[in-house]
Chains A and B, each alone.
Chain A
Amino acid sequence: MSDIKYLPGKEPHANEHRLIFKNVDREGWDTSIETYLKDGGYEMLKKGLGMEPKAVTEQVKTSGLRGRGGAGFPTGIKWGFIPPNNTKPVYLICNGDESEPGTFKDRYIVHQDPHQLIEGMVISAYAVGAHTAYIYIREEFPEAAITLEKAIAEAKEKGFLGKDIQGSGFDLEIYVHRGAAAYICGEETGLIESLEGKRPYPRIKPPYFPAAMGLYMAPTIVNNVESLCHVVHILRMGGDEYVKLGTPRNSGTRILCVSGDVKNPGYFEVQVGKVTFRELLYDMCGGPKDGREFKAVIPGGSSSKILRCNESFKIGRGDDAKDLSFWDLPLDFDTLAAAGSMAGSGGVIVLDDSRRMSWVLNNITHFYAHESCGQCTPCREGSTWMKKVSDRIEGGKATPQDVETLEQIAYQIDGKTVCAFGEASAWPVEAMIDKFREELVSATSEDNDFKSAERKAQEEFMSAVNV
């Protein structure tokens, strides 16, 4: 791989380990199937179709691959949930909605390397027994929709899609389905409803686990774009080799997307858990902007709980437990969960000391209030109330009690909703209040308390009496 050259200024950092992003920003690279084939593309498809479907799933299980869409669910295990006595058609859906704020990795795959995704999808569809697959792509990627449809046509022409793929007897059609700018379509059951032509109201689990009752009430596997691409590399390396990348239970590589207040924001494909915040933000991203200091980091998309840069955490259990400062935390699923947050979708948003927390909070509450699907009351009403209260705080019109009210609203959403959007909207608010309570309270004033004319008159009278 050392002969690969990248566009000037876009060379990967030395800490990176590129599998998925091997071809992103590569010199001389384009989205045509010829380019992909010249680079050894579609060989893993042939290898996969030569194996038993169960054996492919086994490899994915062995690899320890965990979903890259946000929840980190083991992909091989998910594939195993299709009911064994199923008689309905099975569907595979690629979740290309990429709408979690702070996340921008799938964008580069679908725009620059569509054939990698198609190859991963064919192998995955073969493993789960799907003959129809959909790529649900967000509406704001119009170019990608065209690129993907073109790539699908090319792959079909070359016999990597369609009937009897490469003489294996396996049939698969892939279609592109465009969303329409709604964040909730990223939630897998909301996505399925949307694909059925409805409002994307998420379904309640249980019983509607997609693997058993998904698209058209048939077994459906929903996987993130990046997760499906990993399957190609798992077959190439073998599950046993792949699992050695990264750290135990957090295997493979993942793409970290860094945005916000750093010198060089961007995307970095690293072995999971092999990079700490210090390495990521100082070595790879060039540190804070001139004259600034890092203040806080949102580690896994806007839904994850914010971490203060001057915190330290107790990570691990029993004798293994150790105290780690924020800077020494490795970015893997388990460590970030132990630190009270999550690795989520890999979107790292960095805030420096120029940012007011009330402003950050306000921006995020606006996002969730806008994107709640409105199906369940705690989320629909709660997200709007959070927005209104945070408007007050940001506008300097709040009382100290408003901060408490806001916190209470968040806790009343969390855990009481149909889908995980409830948590996604409540967690950031809970964490920001927990970690920056003083700062938020300092933006409020008792003077903002609403007083009726009667109460004002009463207080005036009482203070006069006291004198």
Chain B
Amino acid sequence: MSSRIEVPKPQTIDRSRLTYVKGGRPLLVKVPHPAKVDRNQLNYLFSGDSEEVGGIDIPMPAKIDVSKLVYTFGDREIVAPKPAVIDRNTLVYLSTGGVIRAPKARRINREELEYLPKKLTIIEQNVHSPVTPGQVNFPPFEVTPELDKKADERIAQYPDDQSRSAVLPLLHEVQHKFGFISPESIEWVAGKLDIAAIKVLEVVSFYPGFRQKAPGKFHVRVCRTLSCAMGGSYELMEKLCEITEIDRSKEDGHKDTISVSPCGNYSVEFAECLASCGTAPVCLVNDDFHEGVTEEKAQALLDSYTS
């Protein structure tokens, strides 16, 4: 008594039981002997021989129309389609009855998965946006309808074929709302103006007025140029740092010019001549201008910006 029926090359198939045999060899799926054969569905093409199966004499078919075959394994029924070839690269089952797309994988073993690190875009690689304690003061970059509308208004200030002129105005809108210029915002500005992102990045990296990392909630820009330096702006800077516990030692003069307090509330930066040399020393706190801010007035200045 034959214990097995050989089914022509692969079929689909109860995925939970399927065994993929790898290695380029033709795939052979062994199906155990059916407990029961649904005789009504069988198409026998008789060859004349017969065989006794389970006590019943069955004529041996020359060929079985497999598409109709119903195997019953114990309590489970499966329908095996006609033979198929598996293209191992794409896992497309080519069956005689048509093309069946097979799902990518039966099951994913999460432990075995290898995660490849996210590939940084060139813009992300070149924007220096380390997380600072000031980050908490600003929402993450997001294109709101309001921002989009403002951008369109700015773009309308320039001739139709010169929308690139709006790079600075758009970046100002972004920085004002989100605190600094992030890689995503650069991509957005570039997309909005239909120019390459590098043309936005080169602007961001040139102008000291654009920041690549979050400042404090109150960003103090102290003038360091001659008249203010004579009036005591370096001393003012020192005092501000002392009060706010800001450490300026990591600044590098060109790329990283902002230092943020550990609490994230304040940040400082040296600015060049703010065009008020007659009232030295002067500084800007966010958009507010302050004149005659000597060292002694540092505490009072900070006290007026607490929340």
Contact = CB atoms under 8 A, between A and B. Distances in A.
B167 interface: yes
B203 A360 contact: no
Interface string A310-350: 00000000000000000000000000000000000001010
A198 B206 CA distance: 9
B157 interface: yes
Contacts of A107: 275-276
A104 B228 CA distance: 13
Contact of A178 (B165, B172, B254, B276): B172
Which of B207, B224, B277 is the most central at the interface, judged by chain A CB atoms within 10 Å of its CB?
A: B277
A102 interface: yes
A69 to B, nearest CB: 13
Interface string A241-266: 00000000000000001111100011
Interface stretch (B3-11, B43-51, B266-274): B266-274
A179 to B, nearest CB: 7
Contacts of B253: 370
Contacts of B73: none
B165 A195 contact: yes
A259 B280 contact: yes
Interface string A337-373: 0000000000101010001000010011011001101
B275 A104 contact: yes
B298 to A, nearest CB: 20
A402 interface: no
Interface string B219-233: 001001111011000
A143 B278 contact: no
Contacts of A200: 206
B209 to A, nearest CB: 3
A121 to B, nearest CB: 15
Nearest to A387: B253
A367 B208 CA distance: 13
A146 to B, nearest CB: 9
Interface stretch (A112-120, A180-188, A405-413): A180-188
Contacts of B208: 180-182, 370
A259 B275 contact: no
Contacts of B279: 265
Size category, B interface: 35 or more
Contacts of B167: 197-198
Given A138-B275, A197-B166, A363-B226, A181 B207 contact: yes
B200 to A, nearest CB: 9
A216 B277 contact: no
Contacts of B271: 140, 181
Contacts of A41: none
Q: How large is the interface on A (under 10, 10 to 19, 20 to 34, 35 or more residues)?
A: 35 or more
Interface string A413-454: 000000000000000000000000000000000000000000
Interface in B247-267: 253-254
A98 interface: yes
A355 B227 CA distance: 12
Interface in B185-237: 193, 199, 202-203, 206-210, 221, 224-227, 229-230
A194 B203 CA distance: 9
A360 B226 contact: yes
A32 B136 CA distance: 38
A347 B162 CA distance: 36
B168 interface: yes
B114 interface: no
A178 B169 contact: yes
B164 interface: yes
A25 interface: no
Nearest to A183: B272
A267 B227 contact: no
A267 B203 CA distance: 34
Nearest to A105: B275
B225 A182 contact: no
Contacts of B202: 198-199
A99 B276 contact: no
B225 A101 contact: yes
A224 interface: no
B284 interface: yes
A216 B161 CA distance: 10
B231 to A, nearest CB: 8
Nearest to A301: B273
A8 B287 CA distance: 27
A223 interface: no
Given A139-B209, A197-B167, A197-B168, A349 B275 contact: no
A461 B271 CA distance: 52
Contacts of A347: 277
A208 interface: no
Given A101-B227, A177-B157, A197-B166, A142 B287 contact: yes
Contact of A257 (B224, B225, B274, B277): B277
B289 interface: yes
B293 to A, nearest CB: 15
B180 to A, nearest CB: 13
Given A102-B277, A260-B277, 9 more contacts: A140-B274, A178-B168, A180-B168, A182-B208, A183-B272, A260-B226, A351-B230, A363-B226, A373-B206
27 contacts: A89-B159, A100-B273, A101-B226, A104-B275, A139-B172, A140-B284, A143-B289, A175-B157, A175-B158, A177-B157, A177-B168, A178-B168, A178-B169, A179-B168, A181-B207, A181-B208, A182-B208, A197-B199, A198-B202, A198-B203, A200-B206, A216-B159, A260-B230, A265-B280, A302-B225, A363-B224, A367-B272
Which 4 pairs across A and B sit closest by C-beta, in order of nearness?
A180-B209, A181-B209, A180-B207, A259-B277
